[in-house]
Amino acid sequence: MVVKTPALKDTDGKRLLKLFSMPRNPTKKDARTRIRPEDMPDEAEKLYAYCDQDVVAEMAVAAECPELEGEELEFYLCDAEMNARGVQIDREMMECCIAVMEATLARYDAELRELTGCGVDELEALKKWLATQGLVVGSLDAEHLNALLKE
């Protein structure tokens, strides 16, 4: 459903959110992994204004939407209760799983590097190495590789 309201969404918001909330790859000239508001105060002010305008736009849409009732209301209340309760996890087991995954990644990264000269995070170099072995691949995702293996 599209609701026409006088309060429009700021189209630059997506760029601003990405700028401040997504990690970035460091470069030789800029080692930062994140851009913080104090790094770019003018852009941060635009982000804050975007957030303010987003609230106004969402309130305008909410004013046009009918109240929930019946099953929709029950679903919403159940969802809100689950969100408030959260998800319980076994932190110790999760940390053990992470340790196992990191050890496995290190082992297979070393093995891949020994065989190909490429690490698991060097996909373009690995694709080039595969091409030298007679296997040209457009992608290294599981679906693409499984299709190649079935050929």
Residue-range domain boundaries for the chain: 13-85, 91-150
- pLDDT for 95 equals 96
pLDDT score of 71: 96
pLDDT tens track, the chain, 151 positions: 466 766 666 678 889 999 999 999 989 999 999 999 999 999 999 999 999 988 988 898 888 889 999 999 999 999 999 999 988 889 999 999 999 999 999 999 999 999 999 998 898 999 999 999 988 888 888 888 777 777 7
First-to-last C-alpha distance (Å) of the chain: 44
Backbone angles phi, psi at 6, to 5 degrees: -70, -20
Write the CB contacts of 83 (distance below 8 Å, at least 6 apart in sequence).
Answer: none
Report the run of H or E that residue 95 belongs to, with start and end.
Answer: helix 91-116
